[in-house]
Amino acid sequence: MAEPKHPVRTVDRAFEIIEIVQELDGAGVSEVSERVDIGKSAVHNHLNTLVNKEYLSKKGDEYQIGLSFLGLGAYARNRTGIYNAARHEVDNLADETGELANLLIEQNGTGIYLYQSKGENAVELDTYEGKRVRLHCTGLGKAILAFRPREEVEEILDTHGMPGMTDRTITDREEFFDELEVIRERKYATDREERLMGLCCVAAPITNDQDRSIGAISVACPLHRVGDERFHEDLPNSVLGTANVIELEYNYS
């Protein structure tokens, strides 16, 4: 994303403080001031202003993210066409597989979990609706990037890099583009412990009528309970069928 020509420093500072509070899962004045280049008094003023607007809450000496963001996030998500087209089908995918089903979109070169639905055997993960993740190390992200022009993918990798999240993460660029080619041919992506050890997922892109990805869906589950047939046949068939239904709804409704 291009930097604004004339950024408003106080607005920039407020969001920096909000992101610090989120990253630390709650913080006091001293903790925040250690992370920014302004004094405790100024940090205190920022924090209390955000509390007054209910974008932060305060319990004792600790500040937390406030529920005002919940309303804004729900409003933004409901205005996203792919969410409205996909939500019911993601629920069906979770029920069919018994696992955790996900909907991810790309924004500014990273992935955002737009919706998740839990089947009866769904694993508890570090993901949640609204969480951002790198694209190169997830089945969802690879499914999206496989259906984007190479120059666009190159730009994303230049900006965000390809750090190794586990020893299974693809960190070589040419190897990664070879992987994207395979994904384009078979229409689905896989992730075997590339972001988290012990976790695998199968993902399919959701494309528009010009074959450009606008999002992806996946099923995520512990590696130990997924045999080869399920990983290479059953789950791919499930996510591909679901993606097809979502595409029809999104593109032609």
Q: Which domains does the chain have, with CATH numbers?
A: 9-68 (1.10.10.10), 76-252 (3.30.450.40)
DSSP symbol at 98: S
How confident is the model over 28-60, as pLDDT tens digits? 999 999 998 888 999 999 999 999 999 999 999
Q: Which of 215, 190, 206 is nearest to 242 (CA)?
A: 206
Q: Which of 122, 148, 144 is nearest to 135 (CA)?
A: 144
Residue-level pLDDT at 74: 85
N residues, the chain: 253
* Residue 199: C-alpha distances to residues 62, 119, 124, 168 (Å): 34, 16, 11, 11
Q: Can you give the pTM of this predicted structure? A: 0.86
What does the pLDDT average to over 89-107?
97
pLDDT at residue 163 tops 60: yes
Q: What are the backbone dihedrals phi and psi of residue 194, each rounded to the nearest 5 degrees, phi first? A: -85, -25
Q: What is the pLDDT of residue 6?
A: 67
pLDDT of amino acid 240: 98
Q: Is the pLDDT of residue 103 over 80?
A: yes
